[in-house]
Amino acid sequence: MNKKDPESLSALGNALRYQSRIKEALSCYERALQIDENHSPALNGKGLSLLDLDKNSPSIEEAVEFFKKAQKITPNQPEIYYNLGTAYGYLGRFDEALAMHRKALDIYPHSHQAYNNLALILQDIGQINEAIDAYDQAIQLKPDWQSYFSNKLFAINYHPDLSPEEIFGAYQAFEQRFGLPHRDTCPPHLNDPRVDRRLRIGYVSADFRSHSTSHFLEPLLAHHDHEQFEIFAYVQNVSFDHLSLRYRKLVDHWVPIAALDDAAVVARIRADQIDILVDLAGHTAGNRLGIFARRPAPVSLTWLGYGYTTGLSAVDYFLTDPVLTPPGCEPLFSERLWRLERPFIAYRPNPAMGDPGPLPAITKGLVTFATLSRGVRVNHRVIRVWSAILKRVPGSQLVLDSKSFQSPAIQEQWAARFTAHGIARERLVMGCHSPPWDLLRDIDISLDCFPHNSGTTLVESLYMGIPVVTLAERPSVGRIGSAILTALGHPEWIAQTEEEYIEKAVELATDLDRLAAIRASLRAELEASPLRDEVGFTQAMERAYRQMWQQWCAGHALRVRDLG
């Protein structure tokens, strides 16, 4: 390689970035730019590396400047436009992101990357049908890219009008394309089949960092019995932070896998003799479901990061509870349902949240409803129901707060959807606050979304003294709110129909004394509930692991007997 040739340095940077060696790639691009500050591939590569390395605003803003400079130098390169669109999306500048992705498609209508990136923005602003259409275009152009199919399944989960059976049908199509081809390629597992020995547990995730899952994963890792369980973290992260360091101290083995292909990771997991492998991602970004399709461990399960089936028959269990997945819903999952005898999560709050404070409605003279969910959850059914609530509670306002509601242009698009139901623009307060603790102190009642409920933001609302109204719908993503409220001891906030949802929200809003009492006591109730029992939850998980292992050992003994 010519170390004085920017083209060679950029090519090396690209190769390193594809191996997730981001800092080394960044160094190559910077050396290329020292030689030629206008070298477009290096500018583009440095922008991408900055996005990979850090999802915080300063780095993203810096990446934007590199992409814009590359754009001026090579204005007909579609990749630069959709990369710039991705950066705008991270910043919540969704109108600009849409424009960049569409510009990329104007230049090159067959860009599968641009279609995929366009779909990601469309789903963030609640345009599910349009997002699914764009994913279909990307899949048609690149049918062997599993990530595009995963992204489509993610979007379908939020569709307000599809039946559970129709949604599961899409997962069965994923199994046909990406699961079944590996069914006959998995060699037998040679793990020691003793039922009572120390077990090796592997967790696979791209989110061993500051991420919403940390509130539920860290309590489990913090309380594992290391005499009975040897813990491996298979780390898909390409960026790390202070929480990554905490995770690393909680596990026995920290195994980076982002630079390895599926076959290499499977070989490593088999070499590590993992007994039980846990997927923490489902079809979210950075998932490694291709590993699970190859059955690298005797037992596998999925939990936490996604909330619904993987679609892979190679995954043995979906870890759940009786409320999240009531009896009779088994045909909607490719895995066997393993129901814990307690709630499916334990929650660790952020210590910086502070106290809930007094009921805002008393000092403001009006009731504030809110959702802190992403726009992908807010659909035409939700908007119709929330509009009905606002009409029934005169003077009330609705806060819509997340990155999906940050862009002024996109805010007006959301407002128009409420205006169509007779809700004046001034009754909607939109923006994005992170962290949202002070905003939560200004909220009286939280409105959960449906058919896909909220997750972390729902528990955070309860911890800040805010009652949550939820609608129990399809398993399991449509019953997250029900599972949490049942565990908390407030099933009266769970509605079975849209009409009942409206009535429950209105009833809460018209009794301020009751609301004030709820606010004063709710945190203590949550602290005393199973949702805060980290040790009890971990012990339940470990019992489940041991029982899963016992079942595999029994099956192994039968297989050995039959072969004999």
Rounded CA separation 291/272 (Å): 14
399: three-class secondary structure by DSSP:
strand
- Token pair recorded at residue 220: 């489990």
Helix crossing, 40-53 with 57-73: angle to 10°? 160
What is the 8-class DSSP label of residue 114? H
pLDDT at 239: 86
Name which of 381, 301, 359, 307 is nearest 544 in CA terms: 301
Strands 276-279 and 253-256, bridge-based pairing = unpaired
Name which of 203, 209, 281, 261 is nearest 239 in CA terms: 209
Name which of 348, 307, 305 is nearest 324 in CA terms: 307
Report the alpha-carbon angle 440-445-451, nearest 5. 105
pLDDT at 562: 60
pTM: 0.95
Scored b (16 or more CB within 10 A) or e, 384-398 reads ebbbbbbeebeebbb
Each residue's pLDDT tens digit, 126-153: 999 999 999 999 999 999 999 999 999 9
Low-confidence ranges of the chain (pLDDT < 70): 1-3, 557, 560-564
42 touches 6 (CB < 8 A) = yes
Name which of 286, 330, 338, 292 is nearest 313 in CA terms: 292
Would you give the distance in Å from CA 143 to the centre of its chain? 23
DSSP string, 64-116: HHHHHHHHHHSTT-HHHHHHHHHHHHHTT-HHHHHHHHHHHHHH-TT-HHHHH
Helix crossing, 146-156 with 164-174: angle to 10°? 170
Rounded CA separation 44/60 (Å): 13
218 touches 250 (CB < 8 A) = yes
Cis peptide before 296 (omega within 30 of 0): no
pLDDT at 539: 98
- Token pair recorded at residue 74: 């090579």
In the block, tokens 């079944």 appear at: 180
Cis peptide before 435 (omega within 30 of 0): yes
The contacts of residue 11 (CB under 8 Å, 6+ apart) are: 41
φ, ψ dihedrals at 397, nearest 5°: -130, 160
Q: Which amino acid is at 181?
A: P
Rounded CA separation 340/489 (Å): 18
Report the alpha-carbon angle 413-436-157, nearest 5. 55
